[in-house]
């Protein structure tokens, strides 16, 4: 009997121990499963953001797009979308600090946001002022109005091309933004004669192009360029020296010279410096101590260097409207046959390099629109195309090592751009 009691007690203890163990195992297993589940939840990718339009969630509205038609204004657009007169009047009055709605232009896009229900009540109106800015008007409640800007995307690109005619045509032939031609002409204005481009001249360039949506809105920065002109290499690297961004060559010399290479962009030389040229109007041979740049009437003319206007008016000897600028004790420049002068331009005024001074015309003794550009050195006429202007200060000695280290990878990247590159091969290195 005693033996039976002991055996029963042992069995009870064993059963209780097994029960406790099973419970503990189940608890630990449930905890592991819970942890695994939470880990799985954390590893799930986040839900994509909802599609947005002008800062609004698209799925929250019924949306209609349109473009301003000829002779259409804000009132006619909103009335056609069931907005009452009093609301339109209040919107027009309160929008003046953001945009004058009288300046709404035909062809510009607009969007109307309606309530998503069956009533389709107009709730918001958005008008695109330009490629980047837009005006937002609330059509209900407080009639909130504000102006905003679309997200701007900057894309790092590279391009290259061989010139057969002009820089502009080379850009188009290689499916590059033609505005790069203007950028490059400004960068190299002091070192490359773009009126003397030769077949076979070529370029490579690294730059940033900005986009709104999928539309290019311009070139933001040119980081580096390599231009081969008449067999000579011309490098340009954008670098900040003394808190000012400028362009320098591979040896740290500034590309900015004391004078611009030419006083206007993209034309042709119709007559060169000569001591005995046949005058097309007077029909006689006489000296022509200048360079004629043929260009359409109204083409902007710029001062080739800093200086003071010493004369502005009419030249009775055949020059028509003219401007004379004294740059220093050595050089003076004259711009003749102008159609007109820049607003506010007057004698005694100080002008800066690249400042607008007038427009190409046909005044005086001229058979067609052109600029007669003349340079005087120590009072004597000299050929403008033969002047070697001194450069601006180069990279300082203390910054030279840092500069050379900065341009080394840019120079390597330029060398790797194939000259046969076309638009489909454009390299988008990164997006900022």
pLDDT of residue 103: 93
Distance CA 302, CA 348 (A): 17
pLDDT of residue 197: 82
Give me the long-range contacts of 175-182 (CB less than 8 A, separation at least 24): 175/422, 175/423, 175/424, 175/426, 176/423, 176/426, 177/209, 177/216, 177/218, 177/219, 179/218, 179/219, 180/205, 180/207, 180/219, 180/222, 181/266, 182/265
The β-bridge relationship of strands 350-351 and 331-341 is unpaired
pLDDT of residue 262: 87
Distance CA 216, CA 131 (A): 9
Tokens of residue 275, six digits:
């001591």
Q: Are 237 and 248 in contact (CB under 8 A)?
A: yes
pLDDT of residue 289: 65
At residue 225, φ and ψ (nearest 5 deg) are -150, 155
In the chain, the domains with their CATH numbers are 52-149 (3.10.450.350), 151-256+392-431 (3.10.450.350), 268-382 (2.70.70.10)
DSSP code string of 303-357:
-SSSEEEEEEEEETTTTEEEEEEE-SSSEEEEEEEEEEE-TT--TT-EE-TT-EE
DSSP code string of 96-144:
TTT--GGG--TT-EEEEEE-SSTT--EEEEEEE-SSSEEEEEE-STT--
* Reduced 3-state DSSP string for 289-317: CCEEEECCCCCEEECCCCEEEEEEEEECC
Per-residue pLDDT of the chain (432 residues), as tens digits, is 555 555 655 555 555 555 655 565 565 565 555 555 555 455 667 778 888 899 999 999 999 999 999 999 999 999 999 999 999 999 999 999 999 999 999 999 999 999 999 999 999 999 999 988 999 999 998 899 999 999 999 999 999 999 988 888 899 999 999 999 989 988 888 788 777 788 889 999 999 999 998 888 889 999 999 999 988 999 999 999 888 889 999 999 998 877 888 898 756 676 654 554 444 544 444 456 688 898 889 999 999 988 899 999 999 888 899 999 998 877 899 999 999 999 999 999 999 999 999 999 999 888 889 999 999 988 888 888 877 766 678 999 999 999 999 999 999 999 999 986 444 333 433 333
């Amino acid at each position: 009997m005693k033996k039976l009691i002991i055996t029963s007690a042992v069995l009870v203890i064993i059963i209780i121990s097994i029960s406790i163990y099973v419970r503990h195992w189940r608890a630990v297993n449930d905890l592991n499963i819970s942890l695994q589940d939470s880990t799985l939840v954390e590893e799930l990718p986040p839900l994509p953001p909802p599609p947005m339009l002008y800062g609004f969630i698209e799925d929250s509205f019924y949306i209609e797009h349109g473009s301003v038609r000829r002779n259409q204004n804000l009132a006619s657009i909103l009335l056609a979308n069931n907005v009452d007169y009093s609301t339109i009047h209040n919107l027009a009055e309160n929008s003046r600090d953001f945009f004058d709605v009288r300046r709404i232009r035909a062809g510009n896009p607009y969007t109307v946001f309606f309530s998503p229900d069956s009533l389709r009540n107009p709730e918001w109106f958005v008008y695109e002022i330009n490629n980047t800015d837009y005006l937002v008007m609330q059509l209900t409640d407080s009639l909130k109005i504000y102006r905003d800007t679309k997200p701007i995307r900057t894309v790092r690109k590279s391009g290259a091309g061989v010139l057969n005619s002009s820089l502009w045509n080379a850009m188009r032939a290689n499916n590059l933004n033609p505005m790069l031609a203007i950028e490059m002409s400004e960068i190299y204005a002091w070192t490359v004669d773009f009126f003397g481009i030769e077949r076979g001249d070529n370029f490579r360039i690294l730059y940033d192009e900005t986009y709104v949506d999928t539309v290019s809105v311009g070139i933001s920065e040119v980081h580096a360029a390599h231009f081969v002109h008449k067999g000579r290499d011309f490098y340009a690297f954008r670098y900040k020296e003394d808190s000012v961004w400028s362009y320098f060559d591979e040896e740290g010399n500034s590309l900015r010279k004391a004078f611009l290479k030419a006083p206007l962009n993209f034309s042709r030389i119709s007559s060169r410096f000569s001591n005995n040229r046949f005058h097309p109007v007077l029909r006689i041979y006489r000296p022509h101590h200048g360079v004629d740049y043929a260009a359409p009437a109204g083409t902007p003319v710029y001062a080739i260097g800093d200086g003071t206007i010493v004369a502005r008016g009419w030249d009775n000897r055949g020059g028509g409207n003219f401007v004379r600028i004294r740059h220093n004790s050595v050089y003076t420049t004259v711009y003749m046959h102008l159609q007109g002068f820049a607003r506010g331009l007057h004698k005694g005024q100080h002008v800066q390099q690249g400042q607008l001074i007038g427009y190409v015309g046909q005044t005086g003794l001229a058979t067609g629109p052109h600029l007669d550009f003349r340079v005087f050195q120590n009072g004597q006429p000299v050929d403008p195309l033969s002047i070697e202007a001194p450069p601006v200060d180069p990279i300082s000695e203390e910054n030279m090592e840092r500069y050379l280290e900065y341009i080394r990878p840019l120079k390597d990247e330029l060398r790797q751009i194939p000259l046969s590159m076309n638009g489909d091969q454009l390299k988008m290195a990164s997006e900022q």
